[in-house]
Structure 1
Amino acid sequence: MHIYKVIGLMSGTSLDGLDLAYCHIWRQHDRWEFKILEYKSISYDKETFDTLKNSIYLPADELLIFHNTYGTWLGEQAKKFIEKHHLEVDFISSHGHTTHHQPAKGLTFQIGSGQHLANASGHKVVCDFRTNDVALGGQGAPLVPIGDRLLFSEYDFCLNLGGISNISFERNDMRLAYDIGLANMILNHITQKVRLTYDKDGQLARKGTLNKEMLQQLNALEFYRLPFPKSIGFEWFVEKVVPIVDGTEDSMENLLHTAVHHICKQVALQVQQQATKKESTLLVTGGGALNRFLIEILQEKLGSTAKVEIPSKTLIEFKEALVFAFMGVLRLEQEINCLSSVTGAKCDSSSGVVFLPN
């Protein structure tokens, strides 16, 4: 039995920071197993945060320079992590950070140059998991459902509440998944107006009351009526959501309260539409799973349709890093790691580019 020893790197649209997860991954009796042995989150300093947030506005040459320097920085963080914990590592599997995502135009770009990452860390790197799927006519997202299918099959639904909410589930022996809509991206946008990184446990949102006009505008967004497969990126948020939030004059508590109700309503609608039994199980991970008020409202709106399952804090925070480590394993095994049933591509694929250190 071969055990892959992999570091998964993940930076999401919520801009919380870089997640590193050192995982052991192996196949036993035709089932993939895993352990997360070491993990760390690194918050972005203000300069990096601002550059990442505004990267969609950078000229091409500046974006490519940042792509390289960010790749070097990723490699340096991985090297420090390896040395601190004396880790034996086969390779590093990196999601990078999505700066541009417009699949309708055949465009998706995750910065964090694999070659620079490999050189700085001294280890083999697998990265750039989305480009091939987009080239095959797919959305290039979401990618985590391959992990949901092969690592978390005991749950009826897997919900990720990162910057964006997305869901995956099995239907007629096919994995289906898509972006539902908003999650932490809107909540963090509201708190950052007063230089607060996030609303811990949803304490501020709990104090607020509903702004019905804002809620109606958010629920009326066209994206919610589109058929899946579908995905969104930061560009959509800036164009469609920010004007609604910034154009609403109300307290921060009321804005947060309204956003939470909107997020939970849209998630509950999807689960209720897709559920095929009396009470389903809904595994919730991502930063939103730590927002107690949001989880309470979500369970309230789901009613008896589904029971919310909150796993360990480690899995909540590092599931995506784990899955990208797993996607790297599948890539090296030359097995499918990108599902066309999820992305809408013309076929399944084994995606990811391998870089060797120099």
Structure 2
Amino acid sequence: MKFRAVGLMSGTSLDGLDICFAEFRKEENHWDFEILKGETLSYSNAWEEKLRGSIHLNSEDLLALHSEYGFYLGEKVKEFIATYSLENIDLIASHGHTVFHQPKKLFTLQIGDGRAIKILNDLPVVYDFRVQDVLMKGNGAPLVPIGDELLFSEFDACLNIGGFSNISFQQNGSRIAFDICAVNIVLNEFAKKLGKDYDHNGDLARNGEVDEELLEQLNSLFYYKEDAPKSLGIEWVKDHILPRFEGKTNSEILATFTEHAAFQIAETFKKYQIKKVLFTGGGTYNSFLLERIQNLTESEIIIPKKELIDFKEALIFAFMGVLRVNNEINILSSATGSWADHSSGILV
């Protein structure tokens, strides 16, 4: 059994749209994959502002953006397919862009209407992966553990560092997964205040001074004491993180928050006795953050090839689309807290 799929992922840190074209092969209940093409498209200033401001829109303007962003995604996929002369594509799977995520209130919203993607590309499209899980009393996150389990089982754990850091690993026969802490959604914002798009190699944090009192406050947040499954959203950052930065310099914030993220990630490795961890996501390029994590843990950090660092999430959403069109489980209740494993995503 063989499928070729395009996966789309837009992260909360707004560093761009990841597009991944991959082939998936299933033999005797074992899945294998190959990334055939991948590209990250930076958002224009206009699109970055639209997406960043989407949380503040009224309902009519948000619905309009949902359609507009769907056509944007469709155009970018169409261009991607034409640029690389891609053929024999079975489906497109799109995560969309998260605006709201409040699973305790039974809602989450990822904009980017998949029907618009289909109209422009005339291919099957799977989108809106999270809502069904939230309606089933799950967190709607993290979703990538199904890919970690079926595609990356040789590692004790898989860690993704993007807007938020999230981890998944096997424990007592079940796949456990959760968001550890915010990372780039905070670091990028304060790097921008210093005239940078992001903290390259963590150099701004490396040269800043850690505020020990602020660090203690951050590490004492109640979320870190909660048991998994659990997830984070931008609303949590606005309510619990940003207010603590009043009166602090941008340099202090970057240094302290980098140390905070390193501490929380290392503590997670220690708590669950994780030995060998696959690192992916944009935060993997933050060499200072990785230095601090390694300094705080004895776990072995595995850095894969660049294509996997950059496109693992888009790859797994493509894989989730493949599972969905075959009506196979693509969301694990042990990871999200929903009442059952299920096959999620709207297929058009």
2:202 is aligned to 202
Q: State the alpha-carbon separation in 1 of the partners of residues 252 and 2 from structure 2.
A: 49
Amino acid at match of 1:213: E
1:49 is aligned to 48
Q: State the alpha-carbon separation in 1 of the partners of residues 7 and 26 from structure 2.
A: 18
Displacement of 1:341 in angstroms is 0.6
2:312 is aligned to 319
1:353 is aligned to 346
Of residues 202-211 and 317-326 in structure 1, the stretch that sits farther from structure 2 once superposed is 202-211
Query: Are positions 1:254 and 2:252 aligned together?
Result: yes
Displacement of 1:257 in angstroms is 1.6
1:5 is aligned to 4
Q: Which runs of 4+ in 1 moved over 3 A?
A: none
Displacement of 1:254 in angstroms is 2.9
Displacement of 1:255 in angstroms is 2.1
Residues 190-238 of structure 1, C-alpha deviation per residue, up to 9 Å, x if partnerless?
1121342101111121112211122122112221112211101111111
Q: State the alpha-carbon separation in 1 of the partners of residues 99 and 153 from structure 2.
A: 31
1:78 is aligned to 77
Q: Is the 8 A contact 1:206 1:253 kept in 2?
A: no
Q: Is the 8 A contact 2:91 2:322 kept in 1?
A: no
Amino acid at match of 1:344: G
Amino acid at match of 2:34: K
Q: Is the 8 A contact 2:160 2:280 kept in 1?
A: yes
Displacement of 1:53 in angstroms is 1.2
1:265 is aligned to 263
Q: State the alpha-carbon separation in 2 of the partners of residues 123 and 214 from structure 1.
A: 50
2:296 is aligned to 301
**TM-score w.r.t. structure 2 length?**
0.97
Q: Is the 8 A contact 2:178 2:228 kept in 1?
A: yes
Displacement of 1:343 in angstroms is 0.7
Q: State the alpha-carbon separation in 1 of the partners of residues 345 and 248 from structure 2.
A: 45
Amino acid at match of 1:203: D
Q: Is the 8 A contact 2:163 2:184 kept in 1?
A: yes
Amino acid at match of 1:290: Y
1:292 corresponds, among 276, 287, 296, to 287
Q: Is the 8 A contact 1:21 1:40 kept in 2?
A: yes
1:177 is aligned to 177
2:237 is aligned to 237
Displacement of 1:163 in angstroms is 0.2
Q: State the alpha-carbon separation in 2 of the partners of residues 328 and 195 from structure 1.
A: 38
**TM-score w.r.t. structure 1 length?**
0.95
Amino acid at match of 2:42: S
Q: Is the 8 A contact 1:214 1:248 kept in 2?
A: no
Secondary structure of 2:193's partner? Answer: helix
Secondary structure of 2:101's partner? Answer: strand
Q: State the alpha-carbon separation in 2 of the partners of residues 260 and 194 from structure 1.
A: 16
Q: State the alpha-carbon separation in 2 of the partners of residues 192 and 223 from structure 1.
A: 27
Query: Are positions 1:283 and 2:282 aligned together?
Result: no
Query: Are positions 1:310 and 2:303 aligned together?
Result: yes
Amino acid at match of 1:281: K
Secondary structure of 1:315's partner? Answer: helix
Of residues 327-336 and 47-56 in structure 1, the stretch that sits farther from structure 2 once superposed is 47-56
Displacement of 1:122 in angstroms is 2.5
**Aligned-residue RMSD, C-alpha:** 1.1
Q: State the alpha-carbon separation in 1 of the partners of residues 209 and 58 from structure 2.
A: 42
Q: State the alpha-carbon separation in 1 of the partners of residues 247 and 267 from structure 2.
A: 25
Q: Is the 8 A contact 1:27 1:33 kept in 2?
A: yes
Amino acid at match of 1:268: A
Residues 310-351 of structure 1, C-alpha deviation per residue, up to 9 Å, x if partnerless?
111110110000000000011011110000011111111000
Amino acid at match of 1:261: E
Report the identity percentage.
Answer: 46
